[in-house]
Amino acid sequence: MKKKQWYDYLWIWPILYFALGFFNILFAWLGMIDFLLPLFIAVMGGNKFFCNDLCGRGRLFAVIPKTFKFTRKKAAPAWLSSKWFRYGFLVFFAAMFCNVAYQTWLVFGGAASLKETVKLFWTFRVPWGWAYTAGTAPEWAAQFSFGFYSLMLTSALIGLILMMFYRPRTWCVFCPMGSMTQLICKARHRGEEPDR
């Protein structure tokens, strides 16, 4: 049996992340690690080490069905892995991230007030005021936290729903970070097919 590595336990990370953000939204900033580290590894190493070994979210989607003995193991619809959907979703996700940054900017400049809510599926605003105490951080920092946590939670929920209906890591098929690192690896290797 393959010896367990420290990163085999990284599935704990997303659970910890969402738990911390539940009690204090400022911990949402830690999610930037999941944004920047895969890009850094892809640019510097030209590989998908993050996706293959380090991604807590990918590991969590694999661990849950194994632990609770459920998954339909059904292949996801082919359009989910089509180029137009993967890159379309990447553009959409990037636009949503830019919107988070824009809302942060508005609060920073005093043009908007802090919204202490988490927006699920880019639609439903859930009050989350208990997770922020006024004055503990600049309001713009809190606004970014609420927005970024919304993105992270929404994408995790989509991944969990897909995990229940299809193969455990179906989210990885069109995950924006996976698509971005794949593009970077392709550019680095010019024509070689990186593993996904």
Q: How many residues bind ligand SF4 (CB under 6 A)?
A: 10
Give the C-alpha separation, 163 to 66, whole Å.
Answer: 11
Q: In 3-state terms, what secondary structure has residue 74? A: coil
Does 14 sit near ligand SF4 (CB under 6 A)? no
Tell me the two tokens of residue 71. Answer: 């998954």
Contact letters for ligand SF4, residues 143-162 (x by CB under 6 A): --------------------
Upper half-sphere CA count for residue 178 (Cβ side, 13 Å): 21
Q: Which is nearer to ligand SF4, 57 or 131 (CB)?
A: 57
Strand ranges (E), the chain: 117-120, 124-127
Does 31 sit near ligand SF4 (CB under 6 A)? no
Contact letters for ligand SF4, residues 87-116 (x by CB under 6 A): ------------------------------
Using CB under 6 A, pick the residue from 10, 26, 55, 114 that binds ligand SF4.
55
Q: Which is nearer to ligand SF4, 25 or 175 (CB)?
A: 175
Does 38 sit near ligand SF4 (CB under 6 A)? yes
Q: What is the 3-state secondary structure (H, E, C) of 127-183?
A: ECHHHCCCCCCCHHHHHHHHHHHHHHHHHHHHHHHHHHHCCCCCHHHHCHHHHHHHH
Using CB under 6 A, pick the residue from 41, 153, 175, 185 that binds ligand SF4.
175
Of 14-22, 130-138, 174-182, 185-193, the window that binds ligand SF4 (rule: CB under 6 A) is: 174-182
Residues 6+ apart with CB under 8 A from 34: 55, 56, 57, 152, 177
Contacting positions for ligand SF4 (CB under 6 A): 38, 51, 55, 57-58, 171-172, 175, 177-178
